[in-house]
Chain A
């Protein structure tokens, strides 16, 4: 096989866009609601090309992140398939419903692509969050999306399929589209517009891909999560005793060097970063992470070379199955 031939990938027949996985992350809630309304108005009876889902309606109703437990941590194989009692958290039941609708996770019936919409209080611009750094579909969508007014980054959580816990892991391909800064329970027009454009461009890309376009390869900078840092806390009460330092606040994706300011104690003292290596900070001061013991996350950056890709035609699929079968015979 020639090196510069595009990689052939199966068609993306079923795509899902999910909002309200966290009920108070409102850009996705309003965007999916609006897209559902627009869909209802279609008169030509064309089947929906994209499945729109409001993931956590009960949390949305009370405008809170979740009702009993964080829905976006309920999608591990163990949680989806293990035993569940009647008194189990609402979100565990809802996760199973979503797995039946969009999955089952790991099976051939799962949707081809999930885009899960999120907001963050951190100054992260538009970030893709994915479990793989070599899912060419997600990386190509990211390359295609580049919007002039919105900084964009690709974040990789190096978590195995077995341990992957978020909604987007149900699809054969999936990523979270995380946009900030926006307070939870609030909608800001620039953030809403960025998300709307992002989803629109993604749909355009999918249409193009399915119709046979070749997408040229190239480099993508990927931030791979290394670790989280918690706030300094009072030994007895566990109450935080410092806030993110003003020199780090809002500087997501800056390179944090050992010795640089990290926290400001309430007494006024500066607490410095004591790590061994410079790392890129992100999710700096995400409101929902206080209870998870995360003040910020740290990542290494690397350059991934994404190959050119094209959709695999039915013929090519048949040809490859035949050659596979004859290889097996030999």
Chain B
């Protein structure tokens, strides 16, 4: 199999509180700061609470979803008096951790999130990047407490809108189900374990260890499905109990997806696809009941760190 040498990872930044009511990241970052977790072997570790105002308010965001503010357009838009807090904050974070796309950007950015959907632990990333896939594989092989999956968003870097796109390498770790505003110890433990494994991998990588290639089955976003709505725009149905909590279970034509308040069942029509973010509470306002994905297999090569 192909062997590739990859530039070193000198630093990693772990972010929490990008959505102020997704509490695992908030408390993991606070604990890492308390323990003064600044180094993992030769790799330097930074932690950032990215949306402190939203965290203090116990809300996802104050004016605008911070995790949609990292497109090239929004990062370079002029700041005026009416610029939402989160757009300003995104530009601050881009200056601190980026600039996005430049040589100065942090080597690896990991952004911690929670979802109300039953998604276990998911890596969410934009590009098929060997570092990300190797770390994913390492976690998939070593973390046994919850299902581990990879989600790929096929969006070019300039349009990539979320925080992890600022780093040279980046991915979000999304873990659920956890209600917004709630901190569950079991989820906290899972994320802590995933981060410990990530830092372990980075140390091994930095010290010259060679990692075997392989394949990853990733779910690639295809489209979203909204709730049925009435003429006033109000949802007229909720996720059907057969779909609820069945993220990543193949959805086929004829399978129930919604039940209306009056008791009717609405069925899915379309190609066989995998649902995820099923009944994510923050997506009601984004008019998303669930996303649909195809499953694709990606191969990745043996890698080791490039020596100067």
Contact = CB atoms under 8 A, between A and B. Distances in A.
Interface string A183-200: 111111110110000000
A243 B183 contact: yes
A212 interface: no
Contacts of A266: 27, 30-31, 34, 188
Interface string A11-52: 000000000000000000010011000000000000000000
B278 to A, nearest CB: 11
A244 B60 CA distance: 22
B239 interface: yes
A184 B179 contact: yes
Interface residues of A, number: 33
Nearest to B57: A64
A239 B181 contact: no
Contact of A285 (B182, B240, B285): B182
Contacts of A187: 238-239, 279
Contacts of B58: 290-291
A184 B281 contact: yes
Interface in A249-300: 249, 264, 266-267, 285, 287-288, 290-291
B238 A183 contact: no
Nearest to B27: A266
A147 to B, nearest CB: 15
B162 to A, nearest CB: 21
B59 to A, nearest CB: 8
B183 A239 contact: no
Contact of A249 (B185, B240, B261): B185
Interface in B232-251: 234, 238-241, 244
Contacts of B44: none
Interface in B90-136: 116
A9 interface: no
B239 A189 contact: yes
Nearest to B34: A266
A287 B186 CA distance: 16
A245 interface: yes
Nearest to B183: A243
Contacts of A243: 27, 183-185, 188
Contact of A183 (B179, B185, B241): B179
Interface in B261-302: 261-262, 279, 281-282, 284-285
A246 interface: yes
Nearest to B285: A63
A183 B261 contact: no
Contacts of B31: 266-267
A210 interface: no
A295 to B, nearest CB: 10
A121 B240 CA distance: 20
A186 B179 contact: yes
Interface in A290-314: 290-291
Contact of B279 (A30, A186, A239, A249): A186
A181 B244 CA distance: 14
Given A184-B281, A243-B185, A246-B186, A30 B261 contact: yes
B166 interface: no
B175 interface: no
A267 B279 CA distance: 32
A240 B30 CA distance: 10
Contacts of A190: 241, 244
A246 B27 CA distance: 16
Contacts of B177: 183
Contacts of A290: 58, 181
Interface in A166-188: 181-188
Contacts of A183: 116, 177, 179-180, 182, 281
B189 interface: yes
B186 A189 contact: no
Interface string A137-149: 0000000000000
Contacts of B59: 64
B210 interface: no
Contacts of A185: 180, 281-282, 284
B259 interface: yes
A189 B259 contact: yes
B238 A189 contact: yes
A179 B181 CA distance: 18
Interface centre among B182, B234, B241, B285 (most CB of A within 10 A): B182
B247 to A, nearest CB: 14
A186 B281 contact: yes
B281 A287 contact: no
Interface in B201-256: 234, 238-241, 244
A181 B180 CA distance: 13
A288 B181 CA distance: 8
Most buried by A among B234, B279, B281: B281
Contacts of B179: 121, 181-184, 186, 287
Given A189-B241, A266-B27, A240 B180 contact: no
A251 B188 CA distance: 18
Given A243-B188, A287-B179, 4 more contacts: A188-B279, A246-B186, A249-B185, A249-B186
Interface of A: 30, 33-34, 63-64, 121, 181-190, 192-193, 239-240, 243-246, 249, 264, 266-267, 285, 287-288, 290-291
Interface of B: 27, 30-31, 34-35, 58-59, 116, 177, 179-186, 188-189, 234, 238-241, 244, 259, 261-262, 279, 281-282, 284-285
What are the nearest 10 A-B pairs in CB distance?
Answer: A183-B179, A186-B281, A287-B181, A243-B185, A185-B281, A266-B31, A34-B261, A189-B241, A264-B185, A121-B179
5 contacts: A30-B238, A187-B238, A243-B184, A246-B185, A264-B188
